[in-house]
Amino acid sequence: MPSSFLARLGVVQPLVLAPMSGASTPALVAAVSNSGGLGSHGVGYLAPQAILDDAARIRALTDAPFVLNLFVLPDEFEEDEPAIEFARATLDTFMERQGLAARTSRPERWAPRFSDQFAALCEARPAAASFTFNLLTPAQVGELKRRDIAVIGSATTLDEVRAWAELGADAISLQGAEAGGHRGSFLHRPEDAMIGLFALLRLAARAVSLPLIAGGGVMDGQGMAAAEVLGADVAQLGTAFLACPESAAAQAWKDDLTRAQDTDITTIRSFSGRAARGLRNTYVEAMAGVESRLPSYPVMNALTSPLRRAAAAAGRGDLVSEWCGQAVGLLRPMPARELVARLLEERMQALQGLA
């Protein structure tokens, strides 16, 4: 049976697909929601109209509830000119050496304007919306609640859990240090906010009475059951779905994930200017010595976009951001619907074993 939080949203199975910008697609989200779980779509990179279009695509594929997820960012960004020039020169030289014809360019904007994305999300009116990288304002939380959109705040530390609770979030998404993709930390430096999911879950469960959605290194039903035993309402899985045919991850990225060892996974700042977990590949090793000289998110993310596009088109997984969590060795490439069925079966068996 799903928790009361999930039941309130109309979700019938205890599983959440993590939002994954650049990898989640309307087809993946709908496949999970149609299987009874709660599909989440990471729309943080999308322009407002594209957010509305993707929400319409999801609705064309499912009547079940889903989540939209945004990065909470300022509307305008600091431009560190020396860092930008250094990054452009470094990236252009790197692409030339790797035989890629692409070169960096200066985009019109470094990222979509958050307030416009937020307005589009409100208009799209998903059952729930989740947010990472920072807190919303109280007015934004009020706006979501007026529209009956449940508010899920992401936290990587106990202080962040408390901050979302005080703001009136309906549920907290815990991102353990094991998690793939960008770290959502906003009150602490990423290196100080590497709390493992076991620790974070127990700390949060003692501190707040809100529903907890637990993510980071959960790849099978045993992990889902363990998260629930530790106090989670439900587990949230990202990496587990990356190699599904419905995922937008480039084929070379999917292939590399199936060969990855736990020791190949590290925290990387050089792709986007913000700490994120993924595979240590050729690009990551080449940039390791200059990470601290690169501009911060989203400027660096925009500057590496031509490189990542060209590398993906050339099938060069070793040059793209291959985000994944620490338990990627448990990956099972299969259609999302089949994966959800397996996960739920494993979870049931694990819980019965405990009983």
Ligand X SMILES: Cc1cc2nc3c(=O)[nH]c(=O)nc-3n(C[C@H](O)[C@H](O)[C@H](O)COP(=O)(O)O)c2cc1C
Q: Which residues bind ligand X (CB under 6 A)?
A: 18-23, 42, 44, 69, 132, 154, 175, 178-182, 184, 215-218, 237-240, 323-325
Nearer to ligand X, 90 or 216 (CB): 216
Q: Which residues contact 318 (CB under 8 A, 6 or more apart)?
A: 252, 256, 281, 282, 283, 311
Q: Which helix (H) or strand (E) holds 92?
A: helix 81-97
Output the smallest distance, CB 138 to ligand X, in A: 21
List the structure tokens of 281.
Answer: 């590949």
Residue placing its CB nearer to ligand X in the complex, 38 or 83:
38
State the nearest-atom distance from the C-beta of 309 to ligand X, in Å: 16
Give the nearest distance from C-beta 23 to ligand X in angstroms. 4
- Bridge partners (DSSP) listed for residue 151: 129
Query: Is the Cβ of residue 211 or residue 217 nearer to ligand X in the bound state?
Result: 217
- Residue 88 contacts residue 148 (beta carbons within 8 Å): no
CA distances from residue 181 to 42, 177, 272, 313 in whole angstroms, order as listed: 11, 10, 11, 21
Which CB atom, from 135 or from 218, has the smaller least distance to ligand X?
A: 218
Please, which residue, 104 or 130, has the CB nearer to ligand X?
Answer: 130
253 neighbors 328 (Cβ within 8 angstroms): no
Least distance to ligand X from the beta carbon of 68, Å?
A: 10
For ligand X, give the closer residue by CB, 83 or 135: 135
CB of 182 to ligand X, least distance (A): 6
Instruction: Name which of 25 and 104 has its Cβ closer to ligand X.
Output: 25
Lookup: tokens for 319: 């040059």
Torsion of CA 183, 214, 67, 60, to 10 degrees: 110
Task: Tell the smallest beta-carbon distance from residue 220 to ligand X (Å).
Answer: 11
249 and 260 Cβ atoms separated by less than 8 Å: no
Say whether the peptide bond before residue 65 is cis (omega within 30 degrees of 0). no
Minimum CB separation of residue 154 from ligand X in Å reads 5
DSSP 191-209: GG----HHHHHHHHHHH--
3 state SS of 4: helix
